[in-house]
A and B are shown apart, each in its own frame.
Chain A
Amino acid sequence: MATILIENLTKVYPPTPTYPQQVQALGGVSMSVTGNVFVAVLGPSGSGKTTLLNIVAGVEEPTAGAVRVVQDGVPAQVGYVFQEPRLLPWRSVLDNMLYVQNRKSDRSKREAEFYLSMVGLSDVAHLYPAQLSAGMQQRVGIARAFLVNPDVLLMDEPFSHMDALTGRSLRDYLQRIWAHTRKTALFVTHDVGEAVELADRILMLRPGGVVFDDIPVNLPRPRRPDDAAVHAVETEVLRRFDSMEAAVRFGDQRN
């Protein structure tokens, strides 16, 4: 069983010649997630969502605080869908999949092809990334994250680059496979509807990287974006954002 344990995580970027002020991306985030939980991290642009995922993935060092991502006591295998597609432009789609495949076997190629077909891209396996649309590239990124058979799934606004229709059907698909595999998931988004539709729990960030709320979503699955219950939670989430904004604007300006 996978566990993500985050304690008082702080990230401050030092000033640079271009931007001579330090930036606090995360201001003491703490949380723990164990088992088959789908957590959405919801926050406006610049609130440190990407920074949080990068640190959890172990590709960035925190300024302070600690992160542990373990599966049965050993470091967990992470599948990361980045905010941009991040494909090697000089390798074909299929080779990009194989690039991250660490347990090589004679089935590697067939597995890669399977996950490509899952996102509807069987036909373009031999094209270069530049020959795909932005949404198609992002779907390769999603297939790639599943290919490594991750214990923990990290997703950074995976549907923001594609049209609403494709996004909707992929979201649907993600719900179904998640229900099937139930990997521990950390899903970053700025779309309230998306968060409510997918998550068991919504972590709300405000600029400065501070968690100001943590809402459980106890709705039966599969959920539809037009369910009344989903709507009700969305309204509640938005209300809490508004009151946070009011508090930041009119009183508590510290961060």
Chain B
Amino acid sequence: MAYDTSVTPDAVADLSAREIRRSVMGRWGLRAGVVIGWMAFIGVWYVFSGAVLGTQQLPPPHTVAAEVWQVVTGDGFGTTLWASLFRVIVGCTMALSASIVLGMVIAYSAWWRGLLGILTRFFVSIPTVALAILALILFGASGLGPMLTAALVATPYVMSSVAQGLTRVDRRLIVMSESFGRTRSQIITGVLLPSSVLAVIGGARQAFALAWRITLLTEVFASSDGVGFQIKRSFESYDVRGLLAWTALFIGLMFIFENFVFRQLERRAFGGAHVSLATAESTR
């Protein structure tokens, strides 16, 4: 041999220990960054509350936190939450079922894609506030309005992401199946559905986030209960504390669903492999 290529295992271990330290420190640095970010957020809030807008206009974080606690422990919290959650779940389910069907239709038929494309573009450009008020005109304050509006608004978006998931299916697999003389329905159940689980879960996630926002907005106009109604009541009685407390609760709820419900679903669908990737991504 022309060169001495031997390395002692100890030397490598020593060198790599250094690299590991560097990368771990990098990771802790990023975690510290998250903490700094939240501290800055709260700090800016205090500054605005104390020096810019006044505590009456913008209550400081600890006051809002106390109000959150009061709302959560007070009566009627469960009823209010359930009123909204029920609408979200029903609206979301309607949107998702419609989207799966329509998504397939537009993914595989150019004609329907054209027609539904125009119709959905029309719906997408109606400001949601207008839809909320139309729901009020049509259904009054019955609570049916928020549900249907949520379904109607979420459907175009979810439909297009389901359709996109379906069109990303490897065409070569379809060509392969056709060349082996598989029927249309065999191709759908054997190739398309398995490869579009991801798109459907993504669609559900999107439907949920959208349904929450629309339900909230529609409840402001066309409901006499639910989180949106509480937010409006706080607004009408100039109660910024209540407004912010309910908003914080809303954000917390979204966070819980995103991190527990949908992560779990994905874990089921991907047998864990995907999850470790997701965590790798989030620690980076």
Contact = CB atoms under 8 A, between A and B. Distances in A.
B241 to A, nearest CB: 41
Interface stretch (A12-20, A134-142, A171-179, A185-193): A12-20
Given A12-B12, A12-B19, A63-B19, A214 B2 contact: yes
Contacts of A16: 23, 280
B7 A22 contact: no
A50 B1 CA distance: 23
Contacts of A210: 5, 7
A59 B277 CA distance: 25
A212 B276 contact: no
A63 to B, nearest CB: 5
Given A10-B15, A16-B280, A27-B12, A22 B5 contact: no
Contact of A24 (B12, B23, B283): B12
A238 to B, nearest CB: 18
B20 to A, nearest CB: 5
Contacts of A10: 7, 11-12, 15
B16 A63 contact: yes
Given A10-B12, A14-B16, A27-B12, A211 B280 contact: no
Contact of A254 (B9, B19, B279): B9
Contacts of B283: 17
B5 A212 contact: yes
A18 B5 contact: no
Interface stretch (A28-36, A75-83, A119-127, A156-164): A28-36
Given A18-B280, A27-B12, A213 B19 contact: no
A247 interface: no
Interface string A142-173: 00000000000000000000000000000000
B260 interface: no
B3 interface: yes
A31 B3 contact: yes
Contacts of B280: 16-18
B1 A14 contact: no
Interface string A197-223: 000000000000011111000000000
B1 A213 contact: yes
A212 B1 contact: yes
A246 interface: no
B3 A211 contact: yes
A121 B101 CA distance: 45
A88 interface: no
A20 B6 CA distance: 25
Interface string A20-56: 0010100111110000000000000000000000000
Given A28-B6, A213-B1, A12 B277 contact: no
Interface of B: 1-7, 9, 11-12, 15-16, 18-20, 22-23, 276-277, 279-280, 283
Given A27-B5, A28-B5, A214-B1, 8 more contacts: A10-B11, A12-B15, A15-B20, A17-B279, A17-B280, A18-B277, A29-B5, A30-B5
Closest A-B pairs by Cβ, 7 of them: A28-B7, A12-B16, A17-B280, A14-B19, A14-B20, A214-B2, A18-B280
